[in-house]
């Protein structure tokens, strides 16, 4: 088996395809809180701390445990959280549909190049499936969810990132071994997840994740880069490349250590 061939690229969504957390998910959570008459407000700093817990329902529960433990006594706690999260998803999808959440540099270019090169593309995310479809449609066009060979999202696996479950699920459906694939992530939780599934991983950081621990990443970059807007290399080597393409991904897979 040739382990240096890239047969599929597995993309994380939030923070990787687009900067969706601060001005997307966070705002949608706050809108849902308002809708349900809660006086909670997740500001930019607090939300950065809450991002340590992946998954919206899990994040709400974590907030309750830490900041409003009295709420944990609700008899219907699981349903109540699920209802609140459903409202949050509705607000988030509406926000994406209004536009103004662009893909990060290099994302659309790389996806198109991989498709032309017949390299499979997949999604592996903890976010809710509707959110993925909505982001792809609003940025790449109505038919773009169909471009992906596999979309793995949300509650389909028991353990969210940093557990490797979602990556195992996607690899299984791709029918490919991790050795022939590469992941693109933006966060330490995401990287822990992809590495635990045996995937070489490119990290593109954002304001929330810049200072996290990316030990084990193939390379840590500012973004995927464009010919007109080269990336910055923060850790590792990009072999002189200025933007991520299939050729660089192959070199990163072939690297030692």
Q: Which residues are catalytic?
A: 12, 14
70's CB contacts (< 8 A; 6+ apart) are: none
Q: Which is nearer to ligand XBP, 169 or 250 (CB)?
A: 169
Q: Pairing between strand 219-221 and 200-204? A: parallel
Q: Which is nearer to ligand XBP, 88 or 251 (CB)?
A: 88
Q: Six-digit token pair at 253?
A: 């897979």
Stretch of 8-16, 34-42, 135-143, 237-245 contacting ligand XBP, by CB under 6 A? 8-16
Please, is 183 exposed, middle or buried when counting C-beta atoms within 10 Å of its C-beta (0-12, 13-18, 19+)?
A: buried
Closest distance between ligand XBP and the C-beta of residue 238, in Å? 23
Contact 80, 32 (CB under 8 A): no
Which partner, ligand XBP, Mg ion, none, binds residue 127 by CB below 5 to 8 Å per kind? ligand XBP
**Is 209 an interacting residue with respect to ligand XBP (CB under 6 A)?**
no
Q: Which is nearer to Mg ion, 12 or 200 (CB)?
A: 12
Q: 216: helix, coil or strand?
A: coil
Residue selected from 33, 55, 81, 106 as contacting ligand XBP according to rule CB under 6 A: 55
Contact 13, 127 (CB under 8 A): yes
Contact 62, 56 (CB under 8 A): no
Contacts with ligand XBP, 212-251, as mask; x by CB under 6 A: ----------------------------------------
Closest distance between ligand XBP and the C-beta of residue 152, in Å? 10
Q: Which is nearer to Mg ion, 199 or 251 (CB)?
A: 199
**Is 131 an interacting residue with respect to ligand XBP (CB under 6 A)?**
yes
Q: What residues from 6 to 45 belong to the interface with Mg ion (CB under 5 A)?
A: 12, 14-15
Please tell me the distance from the alpha carbon of residue 117 to that of residue 5, in angstroms, as a whole number.
Answer: 12
Spell out where the chain has E strands.
8-11, 120-125, 150-153, 181-185, 200-204, 219-221, 233-235
**Is 245 an interacting residue with respect to Mg ion (CB under 5 A)?**
no
Closest distance between ligand XBP and the C-beta of residue 153, in Å? 8
Please tell me the distance from the alpha carbon of residue 93 to that of residue 136, in angstroms, as a whole number.
Answer: 11
What b/e string do you get for 6-25 counting C-beta neighbours within 10 Å, with b at 16 or more? bbbbbbbbbbbbbbbbbebb
Q: Six-digit token pair at 217?
A: 């990443």
Q: Which is nearer to ligand XBP, 54 or 138 (CB)?
A: 54
**Is 206 an interacting residue with respect to ligand XBP (CB under 6 A)?**
no
Closest distance between Mg ion and the C-beta of residue 187, in Å? 5
Residues that bind ligand XBP (CB under 6 A): 12-15, 21, 25, 54-56, 88, 125-128, 131, 161, 187, 189-190
Residues that bind Mg ion (CB under 5 A): 12, 14-15, 186-187, 190
């Amino acid at each position: 088996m040739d382990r240096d061939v890239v047969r599929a690229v597995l993309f994380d969504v939030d923070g990787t395809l687009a900067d969706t957390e601060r001005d997307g998910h966070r705002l949608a959570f706050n809108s849902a809180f308002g809708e349900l008459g809660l006086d909670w407000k997740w500001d930019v700093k607090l939300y950065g701390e809450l991002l340590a817990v992946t998954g919206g329902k899990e994040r709400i529960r974590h907030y309750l445990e830490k900041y409003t433990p009295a709420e944990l006594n609700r008899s219907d706690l699981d349903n109540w959280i699920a209802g609140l999260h459903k409202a949050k998803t509705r607000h988030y999808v509406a926000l994406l549909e209004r536009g103004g959440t662009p893909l990060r540099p290099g994302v659309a270019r790389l996806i198109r190049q991989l498709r032309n090169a017949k390299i499979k593309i997949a999604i592996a995310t903890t976010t809710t499936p509707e959110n993925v479809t909505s982001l792809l449609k609003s940025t790449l066009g109505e038919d773009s969810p169909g471009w992906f060979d596999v979309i793995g999202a949300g509650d389909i696996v028991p353990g969210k990132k940093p557990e490797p479950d979602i990556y195992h699920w996607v690899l299984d459906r791709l029918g490919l071994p991790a050795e022939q694939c590469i992941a693109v992530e933006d966060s330490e939780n995401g990287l822990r997840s992809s590495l635990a599934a045996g995937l070489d991983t490119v990290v593109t950081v954002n304001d929330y994740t810049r200072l996290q621990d990316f030990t084990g990443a193939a390379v840590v970059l500012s973004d995927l880069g464009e010919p007109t807007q080269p990336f910055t290399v923060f850790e590792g080597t990009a072999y002189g490349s200025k933007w991520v393409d299939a050729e660089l991904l192959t070199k990163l897979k072939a690297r030692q250590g």
